[in-house]
Structure 1
Amino acid sequence: MYRFLLTPRWLGGTALGLVAIVVCVLLGSWQLGRFEDRLGTHRASAAAPGTAGGPAAPLGSVLDGPQARVGSDTVGREVTATGDYDAGRQLLVPGRAVDGRTGYYVLTPLRTADGRAVAVVRGWATGTPGAAPPPPAGTVSVTGRLQAPENAGSGGAVAGGLPAGQLGTISPATLVNVLPYPVYDGWVAADDAPGGLTAVPTVQPQGGDGLSLRAFQNLGYTLEWFVFAGFVVFMWFRLVRREAEAAQDRALGLDPVPAL
């Protein structure tokens, strides 16, 4: 009854189905691997300062090139930057919460040798923005954790209408309006805060657990590819069963059931 499976038409169809299943499984496994990689990166960035990315690396090597962007694989990475603080353009960033208390960041641009600056959050203080300790003069080396740019309206971002010397959102798009020189993407939370300030912990993007939406897209694609593979198997058995029933009807001298 199943001799039809040895015909060229069915051998070709079965081979095609097997290829489709293998492709779907491989693509699903690849997407699953991408999800696991992003999950591992998230867990590493949520670890204690200094353990997320191993030894501190020069900022220029992590963000290599003017168009380099901070991604999920670099958030929380320990970096070093050397340059001179621009004390005259120090900014206060209100509406930021640490340990359940609302306060403000103290952000000071650090101008590096390549002409660009990195936004360094030297620390956090509770209450409403007030006088902040001045940065050290001369060339300094700062070690801290790389943070993603803030999105307007996310996290503790404050809308416009702020007084001079305050910033609502830490991002290149807002810093370009208050600084006369180019800046690196993202910002750095300094590990060592001066007296009167508290070191800022790693801030995960998207205001949640830091696991990006793209990671869940990878997981969704994984399920889709495995479903596609299962659908191919289901359709093959369904077509085999229909063909077997038609062959049995022909053997009994009955008209085969027309295909739907």
Structure 2
Amino acid sequence: MYRFLLTPRWWGINVFVLLAIPFCVFMGSWQLSRFEGRVQDHRKESEQVTTDRHEAARPLRELLPVDKATSGKQATATGRYGRQLLVPDRELDGRRGYYVLTLLRTDGGKALPVVRGWLPGSADAAKAPAAPAGDVTVTGALQASETPGDDGVGAQSGLPSGQTGAISSAALVNLVPYDVYDAWITLDRADSGMKAVPAKAPANSGLDLKAFQNLGYTGEWFVFAGFVVFMWFRLLRREVESARDAEMGLVAAEEQSVTV
């Protein structure tokens, strides 16, 4: 009854199944390893942020340009505070508020955006504490420039005077009359009763949408492998039933000829 398995048609089916199942399992395992790798990167990033907080601060110029290796590092800079801006629609501890951003005019001539703290509610310049006067030395976590649209960062257009949607040199160049570093820092200790803004993880790291896509693809490949096995058994069963029906039909025909 199973001699049909030796036909060329079934040889092709069997070879396809024997190749498809290991391929699906391999691809599923590879996608799973990608997901585990991203989880590991996320864990390392979290541990690195904790480590960076306890490292000695280094001069700003030693950490530029900002990349994954220097993002979150403790940086220090000296200068005088200049123009102050507000960054609306920023969430902290589940509450909506705004950053108080002040430009620090450094000895190098450029200005360093400094997030001095966070306040709850709608952005209000009257509630934002004034920056200290005179020469100051600031210390905080170094961050890369933001891009509008990422992690809730707002667009620049349509905002009132004295506000910016993104903390970046591209957004600030039109708001202040001096060059701005392509980086910013958030103070470890906020000024004047404001809450300190924690450092963000570097872009393109950690558990992002791609990580969960990898996990979804893992399930899909294993489902494909199971589907191949299911279809093979279904074709086998149909072939067996057809062969059985053919044999029964042949026997019936022979019995009818004998009776006649």
Q: Same fold (TM over 0.5)?
A: yes
Where does 1:1-260 land on structure 2 (aligned, <5 Å)? 1-7=1-7, 9-42=9-42, 50-51=50-51, 59-60=63-64, 63=67, 78-83=72-77, 87-99=81-93, 102-109=96-103, 119-126=113-120, 128-129=124-125, 130-134=128-132, 137=135, 142-144=139-141, 146=143, 149=146, 151-152=148-149, 155=152, 157=154, 160-171=157-168, 174-178=171-175, 181=179, 183-184=181-182, 187-202=184-199, 211-254=207-250
C-alpha displacement at 1:120, in angstroms?
3.6
Q: Distance in 1 between matches of 2:238 and 2:97?
A: 70
Q: Distance in 2 between matches of 1:219 and 1:196?
A: 43
The change in CA–CA distance for 1:40 and 1:197 in structure 2 (over 3 A counts) is: same
Q: Distance in 2 between matches of 1:17 and 1:85?
A: 70
The change in CA–CA distance for 1:173 and 1:12 in structure 2 (over 3 A counts) is: farther
1:85-131 CA-to-partner distances (Å, cap 9, x unmatched) read: 57334422234343455543122456899998764423224563334
The change in CA–CA distance for 1:61 and 1:97 in structure 2 (over 3 A counts) is: closer
C-alpha displacement at 1:183, in angstroms?
4.8
Q: TM-score, normalised by structure 2?
A: 0.65
The change in CA–CA distance for 1:28 and 1:177 in structure 2 (over 3 A counts) is: farther
Q: Distance in 2 between matches of 1:115 and 1:14?
A: 73
Name which of structure 1's ranges 220-229 and 79-88 shifts more when overlaid on structure 2: 79-88
C-alpha displacement at 1:200, in angstroms?
1.0
C-alpha displacement at 1:11, in angstroms?
3.7
Q: TM-score, normalised by structure 1?
A: 0.65
Partner of 2:166: helix, strand, or coil? coil
Amino acid at match of 2:99: Y
C-alpha displacement at 1:155, in angstroms?
4.2
C-alpha displacement at 1:163, in angstroms?
4.2
Q: Which has the larger radius of gyration?
A: 2
Q: Distance in 1 between matches of 2:222 and 2:53?
A: 33
Contact 1:94 1:167 in 2 (8 A): yes
Higher helix fraction (1 or 2): 2
Amino acid at match of 1:80: Q
Structure 2 unmatched runs, 5+: 251-260
Partner of 1:50: helix, strand, or coil? helix
Contact 1:80 1:144 in 2 (8 A): yes
1:117-151 CA-to-partner distances (Å, cap 9, x unmatched) read: 7644232245633343248747x574416478364
Aligned to 1:67: none
The change in CA–CA distance for 1:182 and 1:146 in structure 2 (over 3 A counts) is: closer
Name which of structure 1's ranges 76-85 and 87-96 shifts more when overlaid on structure 2: 76-85
Partner of 1:94: helix, strand, or coil? strand
